[in-house]
């Protein structure tokens, strides 16, 4: 209850987030005293449900931010806090990320947080986006994305940040980066992370053309690692996790860091420049106009 009450207070969350962002770097998590006090591992907050199984050492994080698990400031803040809690708990060795929403893993960044806001709000939002990516990409845990629905843009970024991706084999679902289609450019660190997974050419095509792939095409280019029937996504993720956890933690962690540190270091070195670039781009009238049109289009589609 104490945690839930805390999570409901947005201003406290914002404070926590800035503390998180100021103390984590290069994949090493610095622990805030408030969170040290929160040793409970099973937590339910409005936008995330975390089930931690002490006996297996595996946590399943269910995103539950209806209707489409958009990555809003509130969601990202809760996500970062939940990640930090799990990371601190040495008995938690694996994390499965999945969705409680039908048909959608995550619709990506919440466009409402990028539209018609004040400069300080854009800054706060982008810091949360950067922090989410750093926490997930540099996690010491084994991270598996159980992609049980569509996963465009920021949803794809979340999946790509995990160690392994299992997607529901349903041709109605899509994954990829569609940003250019509505006039937005993905951040450079998104490009870097994607390149390490699917190579330069696939990244170039995807990002320039704003491509979303159906599951079988995503598998072909290596954007996901495995397709399974929809009702077996979580079970397969759990089985796969057991395999990964059979590897001694220290060897796997050092290897993961060896693979990912160069990208993380590069991003850390341009973090503030990335922030300035984002604020300047997102606050432009032309960008706002495009986002407005896109939002209208999303709403019309429904009507």
Where do contacts with ligand CO8 occur on this chain (CB under 6 A)? 67-68, 70, 103-104, 107-112, 150, 152-154, 178-179, 184-187, 278, 281-282, 298-299, 301-302
Tell me how far, at minimum, the Cβ of 234 lies from ligand CO8, in Å: 20
Token duo for residue 188:
């450079």
CA atoms within 13 A on the CB side of 26: 6
- Choosing from 178, 210, 212, 227, the catalytic residue is 178
Q: Closer to ligand CO8 at the Cβ: 244 or 281?
A: 281
Q: Closer to ligand CO8 at the Cβ: 107 or 264?
A: 107
The residues facing 44 across adjacent strands are 49
Tell me how far, at minimum, the Cβ of 161 lies from ligand CO8, in Å: 13
Would residue 53 show up in a list of annotated catalytic residues for this protein? Answer: no
For the beta carbon of residue 36, count every other beta carbon within 10 angstroms.
11
Token duo for residue 18:
């800035």
- Choosing from 27, 108, 154, 210, the catalytic residue is 154
Round to whole Å and give the CA distance between 301 and 245.
Answer: 43
Q: Closer to ligand CO8 at the Cβ: 42 or 280?
A: 280
Would residue 109 show up in a list of annotated catalytic residues for this protein? Answer: yes
Would residue 176 show up in a list of annotated catalytic residues for this protein? Answer: no
- Choosing from 179, 211, 212, 227, the catalytic residue is 179
Residue nearest to ligand CO8 (CB): 108
Tell me how far, at minimum, the Cβ of 167 lies from ligand CO8, in Å: 14
Would residue 272 show up in a list of annotated catalytic residues for this protein? Answer: no
Asked if residues 160 and 208 have their Cβ atoms less than 8 Å apart, the reply is no
Tell me how far, at minimum, the Cβ of 35 lies from ligand CO8, in Å: 27
Round to whole Å and give the CA distance between 102 and 157.
Answer: 20
Tell me how far, at minimum, the Cβ of 256 lies from ligand CO8, in Å: 25
- Choosing from 109, 207, 212, 227, the catalytic residue is 109
Helices (H), the chain: 2-8, 10-23, 33-37, 73-88, 119-137, 154-161, 188-209, 215-221, 233-245, 249-269, 271-282, 285-302
Round to whole Å and give the CA distance between 38 and 10.
Answer: 18
Q: Closer to ligand CO8 at the Cβ: 36 or 297?
A: 297
**Following DSSP, what letter does each residue of 143-187 receive, concatenated?**
EEEEE-SBEETHHHHHHHHSSEEEEE--TT--EE--GGGGT----
Q: Closer to ligand CO8 at the Cβ: 164 or 177?
A: 177
Q: What amino acid positions are annotated as catalytic residues?
A: 109, 154, 178-179
């Amino acid at each position: 209850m104490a945690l839930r009450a805390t999570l409901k207070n947005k201003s406290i969350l914002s404070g926590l987030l800035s503390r998180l962002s100021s103390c984590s770097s290069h994949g090493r998590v610095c622990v805030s005293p408030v969170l040290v006090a929160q040793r409970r591992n099973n937590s339910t907050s409005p936008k995330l449900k975390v089930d931690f199984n002490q006996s297996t050492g595996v946590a399943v994080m269910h995103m539950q931010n209806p209707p489409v698990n958009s990555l809003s400031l509130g969601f990202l803040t809760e996500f970062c806090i939940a990640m930090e809690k799990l990371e601190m708990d040495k008995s938690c060795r694996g994390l499965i990320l999945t969705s409680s929403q039908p048909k959608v893993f995550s619709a990506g960044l919440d466009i409402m947080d990028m539209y018609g806001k004040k400069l300080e709000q854009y800054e706060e939002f982008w810091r949360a986006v950067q922090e989410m990516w750093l926490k997930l990409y540099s996690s010491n845990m084994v991270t598996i994305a159980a992609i049980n629905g569509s996963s465009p843009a920021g949803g794809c970024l979340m999946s790509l940040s995990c160690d392994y991706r299992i997607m529901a084999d349903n041709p109605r679902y899509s994954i990829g980066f569609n940003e250019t289609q509505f006039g937005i450019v993905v951040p450079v660190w998104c490009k870097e992370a994607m390149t390490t997974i699917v190579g330069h050419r696939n990244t170039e095509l995807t990002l320039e053309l704003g491509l979303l792939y159906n599951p079988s095409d995503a598998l072909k280019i290596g954007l996901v690692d495995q397709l399974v029937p929809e009702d077996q996504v979580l079970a397969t993720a759990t089985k796969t996790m057991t395999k990964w956890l059979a590897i001694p933690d220290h060897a796997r962690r050092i290897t993961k860091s060896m693979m990912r540190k160069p990208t993380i270091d590069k991003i850390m070195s341009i973090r503030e420049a990335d922030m300035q670039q984002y604020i300047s781009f997102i606050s432009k009238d032309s960008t706002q106009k495009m986002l407005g049109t896109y939002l209208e289009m999303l709403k019309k589609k429904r009507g």
